[in-house]
Chains A and B, each alone.
Chain A
Amino acid sequence: MAQLDIENLSKRYGDFQAVREVSLQVADGEFLVLLGPSGCGKTTTLRMVAGFIEPTAGHVKLGGRDVTLLPPWRRNAGMVFQSYALFPHLTVAQNVAFGLEMRKVARAEIAKRVDDALALVRLAGHGGRLPRQLSGGQQQRVALARALAIHPDVLLLDEPLSNLDAKLRQEVRVEIRELQQKLGLTAVMVTHDQEEALTMADRLVVMSEGAVRQVGTQRDLYERPANRFVADFVGRSTFFEGMVEAPGRFRTDGGLTLACVGGTPGRGALALRPERVGIASTAGSGLDNNLRGTVEFVSYLGALIDIHVRLSPSDRLIVHVANRDGAFVPEVGQPVHVGWPAAAAQVFNE
């Protein structure tokens, strides 16, 4: 395994800038996840690291070696594809052996490494089967074993779980993460599923419109989003549109005056995480913001309850209440009081 450096990587298709000056460092043994909506450039970035797409500008360095101009077959990057891309005419063992044969590894050594790789993904004894005889989850693990057998400098995962059903996806997530930690793999994964990203990553990269919006840990992104896009994309937020009147005072377009921390006077938005808001039938005390509203929508999500409260004709707040004994769950149409400390909200200037 090795360190991966991406330096000012750009890709342009005609007038369309798919990736803009992306610079990232993935430390040896680190799991980095590229997260973003479809079309944000995350897959293009990964494919440039793999060597399938030639960058318009910038460099890719693998273990200090500049591989920008090398074709994929000379990069030693293991790739797991969304469709698994197993060779359908070869058995599981032959699939895993493929990369080793390309590296002219001795026959006995190949057999041993194939067995090791299959044991690693709990598929020992399945070597003689054809890919189509395996379940989706098993195929996914063969793809992983095939990429790991070549002892790659970096493991690249392109939406590896999106073809699995929801239940299996949760298991495989943990499995891949544990394997990555156990083997100390340097890995880069692309996904649009934020729960997946949060579960697996050491660090996350949020991208949109070809550019990096923020790089950080789960906690960084969730609690200190660098901009409105990240606040919106990672987790849920209520956004109040309006003006920062003075540092610490925000006035919504609906006429509410809210206490916040900091902010430069001017137009902006105030973002609030739904679980940071308290809700009760009577006015609370000790909170910087105390407001009255009417419940418009309640939905039961199991672990939590999603409540939408109308605060003004143009302001609606989302509140999440943990589903515990004695939790306050109002009915639609019921008048309620909501409140939150000033520090719970974050202000983004336009």
Chain B
Amino acid sequence: MSLAIDRQRSRLLTASALIGPATIFVAVSLFAPLAILFRFSLNGFDKATKTMVEALTAANYIHFFTDPYYTAALATTVKIALLSTVACLVLGFPLAYVVARTQSRFKHLLIIAIVLPLFVGNAVRAAGWMVVFGNKGFVNAGLTGLGLIDKPLEIMFTEKAVIIGIIAVNLPFMVLSLQSVIEGIDRAVEEAAFSLGAPPLTMFRRVLWPLALPGILSGTILTFILAMNAYATPYLLGGPLFKMMAPLVYNQFTQQTNWPFGGAIAFILMAVTLGLTVVANLLIQRRSARRTTA
């Protein structure tokens, strides 16, 4: 009896010794800065001396939501994140399906090819896109040279460039999330639907989509969060006038040294990301639950 308790206690000790360091690391590196930043975001700021003034005020948050410049940046960020996430899902699903279902010997090469872009940092890749999409870049030079267009397409420093860039960065995450889930779906289930009279689209809607839902959720959450917080891509491809939230936070901290306002923007970004993710998940899960019981 006491032996069993002893053993249980020693197991508990081992377990806490193993998970302790990571827990403490996360607590110190994530929650402590967040707590401090949140406190800062309630402080005031003296523009003349560019210093933080101790206070307890919601002024920074009010400032953000009353200035159209900032609300527009938030709207742009949400719009771009939604668009790029939907695009990743639409582009990624067929790709993930093919990778999951292929019986080729070169399957591992396919997966490496999908992961390969992740080996190149965002900034490096964005720099590459600048070369490709510039007015005298590869695409425009090529199209003009072929006589297909008269004047260069405006891609660089537009929303288009940012969306294309974010899709390129996020697509591998979507494909990998989907692929691992689709691989776990028995191929025979699809065939069963066919044999029962379901054409491919119906099969997809009634069988594949609901069964792939866990992967669709994790993939969209991942790409949505990454897109909401994208920094290098909008900064380099959108140009100085293009406003998204993450570059805005950075700007407040480094250029303006306005830590309270920067902190407030950071918390608004975090809250909106979290809020939209939770709401979207609840909606999707409720819809699929209703379909199942219908």
Would A98 and B194 be within 8 Å (CB), given that A73-B199, A89-B292 are in contact? Answer: no
Q: Are B210 and A102 closer than 8 Å at their CB atoms?
A: no
B194 touches A72 (CB 8 A): yes
A85 at interface, CB cutoff 8 A? yes
Task: Contacts A90-B292, A94-B292 given; indicate if A85 touches B198 (C-beta within 8 A).
Answer: no
Chain B residues within an 8 Å CB radius of A74: 197
Indicate whether A60 reaches chain B with its CB closer than 8 angstroms.
no
When chains A and B are docked, how far (Å) is the Cα of A103 from the Cα of B189? 18
Residue count of chain B within 8 Å CB distance of chain A: 19
Q: Is A77 an interface residue (CB 8 A)?
A: yes
Question: Which chain A residue lies CB-closest to B289?
Answer: A89
Q: Are A85 and B186 in contact (CB under 8 A)?
A: yes
Looking at chain A, what size class is its interface with the partner chain?
20 to 34
Majority-rule SS of A interface residues: loop
A87 touches B (CB below 8 Å): yes
| B139 interfacial contact with A, CB 8 Å | no
Within 8 A of A (CB), among B268-294: 288, 292
A222 contacts the other chain (CB 8 A): no
Task: Pick from A82, A146, A150, A156: contact of B188, CB below 8 A.
Answer: A82
Q: Which residue of A lies closest to B187 (CB)?
A: A85
Chain A: minimal CB distance from B204 (Å) = 12
Q: Which residues of A contact B193 (CB under 8 A)?
A: 87, 98
With A88-B211, A89-B210, A94-B292 known as contacts, the answer to whether A150 contacts B192 (CB < 8 A) is no
Within 8 A of B (CB), among A53-109: 71-79, 81-83, 85-91, 94, 98-99, 102-103
- Complex CA distance for A99 and B193, rounded to whole angstroms: 8
Please provide the chain B residues from 177 to 204 with a CB less than 8 Å away from any CB of chain A in the complex.
186, 188-189, 191-199, 202
Residues of B within 8 A of A (CB): 186, 188-189, 191-199, 202, 206-207, 210-211, 288, 292
Residues of A in contact with B (beta carbons under 8 Å apart):
50-52, 71-79, 81-83, 85-91, 94, 98-99, 102-103, 146-147, 150, 156
The 5 closest A-B pairs by CB, nearest first: A102-B197, A99-B196, A85-B188, A85-B192, A79-B195
Other than the known A76-B197, A87-B207, what 18 A-B pairs have Cβ atoms closer than 8 Å? Answer: A50-B191, A73-B197, A73-B198, A75-B195, A77-B195, A79-B192, A79-B195, A85-B192, A87-B192, A88-B189, A98-B196, A98-B198, A98-B206, A99-B197, A102-B196, A146-B196, A147-B195, A150-B197
